[in-house]
Chains A and B, each alone.
Chain A
Amino acid sequence: MTQTLEPQYAISTSDLTKTFGSQRAVDAIDLRVPTGSVFGFLGPNGSGKTTTIRMLLGLATISSGEATLLGHPVPSGLGAALPKVGALVEGPAFYPYLSGRDNLFRFDSANRDADSKTRAVRVDAALARVGLTQAAGKKVHAYSLGMKQRLGIANALLQPRDLLVLDEPTNGLDPQGTREVRNLIRSLASEGITIFISSHLLAEIEQICTHLAVMSRGKIVAQGSVEDLSASQTLKLTLVTSQTDAALELLSAAGIDAVADGNEVSAVLLPNQIEPERIVEMLVLAKVGVRSFTVQAPTLEDRFVLLTGEGFEVAQ
C-alpha cells in the first residue's frame, strides 16, 4: 500500500462538472496541477473557483466527471488524501467564543491523524508562522478580518502538508500581511509543497505562480505554465516615424496588420509570427527613420480581461 511514486499531478480532473439546478457552475473542466507547482487559479466572481475547490475537498458532490487529489480518487480516496492537504475555503471560519489558539486545538483534535502529544508545539509554530503569537489568546470574535485570515492560514499549516489549497488567502490583509503571505507561500513552495491558490489579485499571482489556469463561466479558458502562456501572447508594437507610409508598406509586406495615427504606427504581432528585432532590422535597411520603437507584452490584467470578457455584471 505504500506509495513509492509521487503522483505527477497534485490535482487532476477530467470533465469535472457541478450543476446547481440548470446552471453549470463548473462545466467539464480538465485541471492539471503539477506536483511542486505554485498554481494560480484565476477567474471573475461567480466563475466557479470555490465550487471546484469544494468538490476537490469532498464538501460538494461531483455532478459528473472525475478528480484525483494527491493521486487518490475523489471522493473515495479523500480519507487518505485530506490529512496531507491544508485548505482555506471561501474565507476562514471559527468558533467565535474560543481563542485563536483554542480554535486551532479544536480543529487539530478533529483530525484523527494528528498527534495529540505534539499538538501544542505545532499550534504555536503555526501561529508564529502567520504572526499571531501575540493575539493567540484573544477570542476570535474580537479578531479583525486580516487576523482571522491569518488564523485560517495557520489552520492549514497545522500539519506537514503535501498540498495547500488557498481560496483567496490575501483577502482582507494589509500590505505587510499580503507581502508576508507571499513570502510564506514562496518558502512553503521551496519546501516542495504544491500550492493551489485562487485569487483576484493578479499582481500577486504574477509574482509567485509557476502555473496558471483562468476560469470563466465555469470553463477553463487558459491553462499552462507561466512561460508557455506568455510565449503564446500577442505583442503590441508602437513605432514613431515621419515616414508612416513607408513603414506601413513594409509591415504589410511582412504580413503584419498595422495602422497609422499621426506619425505613430501601431501593430499587433501574433505569437511566433516574427521577432520584433527583425522588424527593426527591416526598417533600418529600408532607411525608414525611426524615432521610437516599443514592444509591449500585455499585462496579466489585460490578458485576464481578454480571456474572461469585459463585462462588470456577474455571470449567472
Chain B
Amino acid sequence: MLATISLIPIALSIAVKLSGATVLPGQGPPFLDRVSHNGLFVAFTAMVVATPLFLPLTIAVVAGDTIAGEASTGTLRYLLIAPVNRARLLVVKFVGAAAFSIAAVVTLLVTGIVIGSILFPVGPVTLLSGNVISIPATLIRILLIGVYVTISLLGLSALGLFLSTLTVIPVGAMAATVIVSTVMQILGSLPQVAVIHPYLLSYYWLGFADVLRNPLSLSSLWSNSLLQLSYIVIFGALSYSRFTSKDILS
C-alpha cells in the first residue's frame, strides 16, 4: 500500500515532465504550475492531490481492518484468551493505524522530494505570501505539512477503529469509513450546511496551505489538532464501550 502511495508523486512529476508545455497558474491542482520551476513543489502538489481521497482510502483500509480483520479470521478470540485486555488491544490497534498514517505521509513527501529533485531544478521557494525561503527552511515547512496531514488522518483512524468493532466483515468497516469520509467532504462543500462545517472531520484537511505563508501561521494546525483530538476522544470512547461489552462469537 505504501508503494502505491509513492506512485502519486512519481506519476505527477512524470506527467508534468513529459507534457513539456508550461502549466498555467490555476490549471490543474494547486501548485502544479510551479512544479516545473522548482522540484520541491512536487511534494506539496502530491499532498494536495492525495489528501481528499487517496490517503483517507488507505487509512480506511487499515483502520477498518483492525478489529474486524482479527474477528473474521477468528484470531481475535485467541488474542483475547491469550489473554489480552480488550482496552489494551484497542490502544495497540489505534497506535498501529496511527503509525501507518505517519508512514503513508512520510512515503508521499519523501518520494515527492526525491523525484522532484531528480526531474526538476531545485531552489529557494516562493511562498504564497510572496516571500522567498531557503531550501532548508522549505524542508522544515514540508515536515510541518507532514505533521499536519498525519494529525488530519488520526480522527479518521479513530472512526475506522470504531466501525471495525461493529462488524466481523472487514470490507464492511473499510467501506463505511470511506463513505463517512466522503460524505463529510461533500457536506463540507455545501454552503447550505455551513453551520456544521467546523465540526466536520475534513474541515481543516486542506488547511496545510497556511504553512506556506510568511509569517508562519499555525492557527489552522492548532484548530485541526483540537478537532481531530475531539474525534479521537469520541470514537475512542465509543470503540471502548462497544468492544469491551461485545460478544466475540466468530
Q: Are A and B subunits of one complex? A: yes
Binding site for B on A (CB under 8 A): 54, 57-61, 78-79, 82-83, 85, 87, 89-91, 93-96, 107-108, 110-112, 155
- Interface residue stretch chosen among B23-31, B80-88, B101-109, B117-125: B80-88
- Shortest beta-carbon distance, A100 to chain B, in Å? 14
At the interface, yes or no: B134 with Cβ under 8 Å from chain A?
no
- List chain B residues, Cβ under 8 A from A59: 77, 80-81, 247-249
Q: For the complex, give the distance between the alpha carbons of A110 and B82 in Å.
A: 6
- List chain A residues, Cβ under 8 A from B81: 57-59, 82, 85, 87, 89
Instruction: Kindly name the residue among A59, A89, A94, A108 whose own CB sees the greatest number of chain B CB atoms within 10 A.
Output: A59
Q: For the complex, give the distance between the alpha carbons of A8 and B248 in Å.
A: 29
Interface residues of B in 68-108 (CB under 8 A from A): 73-75, 77-85
- List chain A residues, Cβ under 8 A from B80: 57-59
- List chain B residues, Cβ under 8 A from A87: 81
- List chain B residues, Cβ under 8 A from A83: 83
Q: For the complex, give the distance between the alpha carbons of A83 and B74 in Å.
A: 19
Q: List 9 A-B contacts (CB under 8 A).
A: A60-B247, A60-B248, A61-B247, A82-B81, A93-B73, A93-B74, A93-B75, A93-B78, A111-B84
* A82 & B79 in contact (Cβ 8 Å cutoff): no
- List chain A residues, Cβ under 8 A from B245: 61
- List chain A residues, Cβ under 8 A from B85: 79
Return the CB mask of B164-186 against A: 1 if under 8 Å, else 0. 00000000000000000000000
- List chain A residues, Cβ under 8 A from B82: 82, 107-108, 110-111
* A91 & B84 in contact (Cβ 8 Å cutoff): no
- List chain B residues, Cβ under 8 A from A93: 73-75, 77-78
What bracket does the count of chain B residues touching chain A fall in?
Answer: 10 to 19
- Shortest beta-carbon distance, B26 to chain A, in Å? 47
* A78 & B74 in contact (Cβ 8 Å cutoff): no
- Choose from A54, A60, A95, A111 the contact partner of B75 (Cβ within 8 Å): A95
- List chain A residues, Cβ under 8 A from B84: 110-112
Q: For the complex, give the distance between the alpha carbons of A94 and B73 in Å.
A: 7
Q: For the complex, give the distance between the alpha carbons of A105 and B74 in Å.
A: 17
Interface of A is mostly: loop
Known: A54-B249, A59-B247, A60-B247. Contact between A111 and B83, CB under 8 A? yes
Known: A79-B83, A110-B84. Contact between A94 and B75, CB under 8 A? yes
Known: A85-B81, A110-B82. Contact between A60 and B74, CB under 8 A? no
* Chain B residue at minimal CB-CB distance from A158: B82
Known: A93-B77, A107-B78. Contact between A78 and B248, CB under 8 A? no
Q: For the complex, give the distance between the alpha carbons of A90 and B78 in Å.
A: 11
- List chain B residues, Cβ under 8 A from A91: 74
* Chain A residue at minimal CB-CB distance from B80: A59
- List chain A residues, Cβ under 8 A from B74: 90-91, 93
Q: For the complex, give the distance between the alpha carbons of A110 and B70 in Å.
A: 13
* B247 & A110 in contact (Cβ 8 Å cutoff): no
* A110 & B249 in contact (Cβ 8 Å cutoff): no
Q: For the complex, give the distance between the alpha carbons of A91 and B77 in Å.
A: 11
Q: For the complex, give the distance between the alpha carbons of A112 and B85 in Å.
A: 10
- Shortest beta-carbon distance, A296 to chain B, in Å? 42
- List chain A residues, Cβ under 8 A from B75: 93-95
- Shortest beta-carbon distance, B207 to chain A, in Å? 39
- List chain A residues, Cβ under 8 A from B79: 107, 110
Interface residues of B in 227-250 (CB under 8 A from A): 245, 247-249
- List chain B residues, Cβ under 8 A from A54: 77, 247-249
- Shortest beta-carbon distance, B205 to chain A, in Å? 33
* Chain B residue at minimal CB-CB distance from A93: B74
- Shortest beta-carbon distance, A70 to chain B, in Å? 13
* B83 & A89 in contact (Cβ 8 Å cutoff): no
Q: For the complex, give the distance between the alpha carbons of A61 and B47 in Å.
A: 46
- Shortest beta-carbon distance, B95 to chain A, in Å? 15
- Choose from A96, A107, A110, A112 the contact partner of B73 (Cβ within 8 Å): A96
With contacts A57-B77, A95-B75 known, what are 17 further pairs, Cβ within 8 A?
A58-B81, A59-B77, A59-B248, A59-B249, A60-B249, A61-B245, A78-B83, A82-B81, A89-B81, A90-B74, A91-B74, A93-B77, A93-B78, A95-B73, A107-B78, A111-B82, A155-B78
* A82 & B78 in contact (Cβ 8 Å cutoff): no
Q: For the complex, give the distance between the alpha carbons of A145 and B102 in Å.
A: 39
